[in-house]
Structure 1
Amino acid sequence: MRDILVIGGNRYFGKRLITRLIAAGDRVTVLNRGSSAPPAGAVHLVADRNDENSLGKALGSRTFDVVVDQVCYTPRQAEIARRVFAGRTGRYVMTSTVEVYEYENTAGLVREDAVDPRTVTVDLELPWQDTEFLDAHYGEGKRQAEAVLAADPAFPYVAVRVAHVLGGGDDFTGRLDHYASRIRSGEPIAVPAVNHPATYIHVEEIADFLVWAAGAEFTGPVNAASHGLLSTDELCEAVAAQVPEGKTVFRSVEVGEVSPFSFTRAYGMDNSRARRLGFTFGEARHWLPRAVAETLGKGN
């Protein structure tokens, strides 16, 4: 039986991760600010992960085989975590994002070495505590958080760079609802003049991936994405199948805000490292109709 700590993880694929770990027989502790209780079977610790004293006091003398950090968004948070968990865990899995590749633009799929966290500049003086700043610099926050963890060669970290997640009736993002409402009303869907496809992963698959990553032995960054790129057209086709009375109309824009899942740059992720390490991905086009049906409430 492993002792596993999950920081955050009370919604969406985090809930699924915790449920899977408990079902596998792991002793699971969930740490959050106390806003919601973890799934049944988990130990609950309450602390502010931004406060090093609060975090250390809540943990006490506990040690863990694995820590899965679902809510590390800034280099400041990563610095606290690295100090607190050094010597306290055998493995530290940080949930990162495809957005670390926000400066990449390639015709091919992007590999992990396109962003080496050991070469990323860290600026702890930026206003990471400001919500608006953090929202506008989400990818950069994750890049710098990875860099802080990578700076200590002895710290056994993994950064799971997660593709855009789809599926589940509890998808709280509203991104597919954005398309459904416009298709239903015939309102134009704004897309870039040159609109690139992207990589995605199903909510159940990323939960499986994180369980697998927790039990593996590799370290460093790893991309987590289903096989195949999906375009905005394909997403809308799947949404339209659930909204048969609607009409899909695209409006190409040169500047200004565009719809979710429409991209001015190409940065689909190469998943070959994870495959070589032993994880088997599904095909995005195979699960897309089910994912859309789940989220729009017609697949439950």
Structure 2
Amino acid sequence: MRDVCVIGGSRYFGKRLIDRLLSAGDGVTVVNRGSAAPPAGAVHLVADRDDEESLERALGSRTFDVVVDQVCYTPVQAAIARRVFAGRTRRYVMTSTVEVYEHEDSAGLVGEDAVDPRTVRVDLGLPWGDPEFRDAHYGEGKRQAEAVFATGSADTADIADATDTADAEFPYVAVRVAHVLGGDDDFTGRLAHYAERIRSGEPIVVPAVNHPATYIHVEEIADFLAWVVGREFTGPVNAASHGVLGTEELCGVVAAGVPGGKVLLRSGDGSGGGDGGLSPLSFPRSYGMDNARATRLGFAFGHVREWLPRAVTETLH
């Protein structure tokens, strides 16, 4: 039995991860602000992860084999977590995102080495506490959070020359998650957006040059995170199903679940609101991730075209 701490995890694939850990017989401690109680069998600690003293008090003398951080969005949060959990865990797993590659405009699938967190500049002076700023700089916040876990540096302008021994002192994993689909509790509304437009015959606005992306099913990313908990590797790892999808193919699958619906794609530049704004899951640059590292390490991903119809059914019915 492993002792696992999950920070956040009250919804979507986080709650599925907790269920899997409990079913495997792991001891699970859930830390959140008290907004949602964890499943029966998990220990519940109430703390604000942004408040270092609150987090320290809640944890007391507890130690863990693995920590899974579902809600780390900024380098400030990463710095607090690294200080609090140093000496408390053998391994720290942060759920990161495909958005860390937002500046890597590649026509092919992007591997983990495209963004090395050890060379990412950290700036704690940015207004990370402002929700609007944080949302607008989601990918950058995740990149800098990875950098803090990778190097231990949280207060220098350039951490490219930071010591490589930090990873051995604080072993971490950054799971770079593809766009997640599926489940009857998908709060993003992205597939629902397509279904509504297809049902009403309204246009789905996409970039003039619309690039494909990789995806992962909500159950598969929960499986992947549970698998990561039981492994020993460290560093960034991409989590994405095999295959890439463009908006047109995605809409075709959604349309099959909307009787009488019609797919009407229209080019736009993303400016303005209403019909002028780009639809979700349409991209002016590629968001395809290479999952070769995780595959070599032993995880067997499914194929997006095999599970997408199920995801549409789960989300729309």
TM-score by shorter chain over 0.5:
yes
The correspondence of residues 112-261 of structure 1 with structure 2, limited to 5 A, is 112-151=112-151, 152-153=166-167, 154-256=169-271, 257-261=277-281
User: SS at 1:211's partner residue?
Assistant: helix
CA distance in 2 between counterparts of 1:39 and 1:104 reads: 39
CA distance in 1 between counterparts of 2:196 and 2:17 reads: 31
- 8 Å Cα contact 2:269-2:278 kept in structure 1: no
How far apart are residue 248 of structure 1 and its match?
A: 0.8
- 8 Å Cα contact 2:75-2:141 kept in structure 1: yes
- 8 Å Cα contact 2:29-2:42 kept in structure 1: yes
CA distance in 2 between counterparts of 1:13 and 1:208 reads: 9
User: SS at 1:235's partner residue?
Assistant: helix
The correspondence of residues 72-83 of structure 1 with structure 2, limited to 5 A, is 72-83=72-83
How far apart are residue 255 of structure 1 and its match?
A: 4.5
Unaligned runs of 5+ in 1: none
TM-score (norm 1): 0.98
* Stretch moving more, 247-256 or 172-181: 247-256
How far apart are residue 246 of structure 1 and its match?
A: 1.4
Aligned to 1:27: 27
Amino acid at match of 1:292: V
Matched, 1:57 2:57: yes
Aligned to 1:12: 12
CA distance in 2 between counterparts of 1:246 and 1:2 reads: 49
How far apart are residue 55 of structure 1 and its match?
A: 0.2
What whole-Å deviation, never above 9, does each CA across 1:48-85 have from its counterpart, x for those lacking one?
A: 00000000000000000000000000000000000000
2:315 corresponds, among 280, 295, 299, to 295
Amino acid at match of 2:210: N
2:290 corresponds, among 251, 270, 292, to 270
Q: How many residues align?
A: 297
How far apart are residue 149 of structure 1 and its match?
A: 0.2
Aligned to 1:99: 99
User: SS at 2:94's partner residue?
Assistant: strand
- 8 Å Cα contact 1:117-1:147 kept in structure 2: yes
What whole-Å deviation, never above 9, does each CA across 1:83-127 have from its counterpart, x for those lacking one?
A: 000111011000000000000111110000000000000000100
Amino acid at match of 2:58: A
CA distance in 2 between counterparts of 1:169 and 1:62 reads: 35
Matched, 1:282 2:268: no
Amino acid at match of 1:98: V
Aligned to 2:3: 3
CA distance in 2 between counterparts of 1:107 and 1:286 reads: 24
Amino acid at match of 1:272: A
What whole-Å deviation, never above 9, does each CA across 1:17-65 have from its counterpart, x for those lacking one?
A: 0000000000000000001101111000000000000000000000000
How far apart are residue 267 of structure 1 and its match?
A: 2.8
CA distance in 1 between counterparts of 2:312 and 2:140 reads: 29
What whole-Å deviation, never above 9, does each CA across 1:228-247 have from its counterpart, x for those lacking one?
A: 00110111011101112211
Unaligned runs of 5+ in 2: 152-165, 272-276
Runs of 4+ that moved beyond 4 A: none
CA distance in 1 between counterparts of 2:40 and 2:111 reads: 38
Matched, 1:40 2:33: no
User: SS at 2:44's partner residue?
Assistant: strand
What whole-Å deviation, never above 9, does each CA across 1:198-233 have from its counterpart, x for those lacking one?
A: 000000000000001111111000000000001101
Amino acid at match of 2:261: G
- 8 Å Cα contact 1:104-1:267 kept in structure 2: no
How far apart are residue 132 of structure 1 and its match?
A: 0.6
User: SS at 2:266's partner residue?
Assistant: strand
CA distance in 1 between counterparts of 2:105 and 2:316 reads: 32
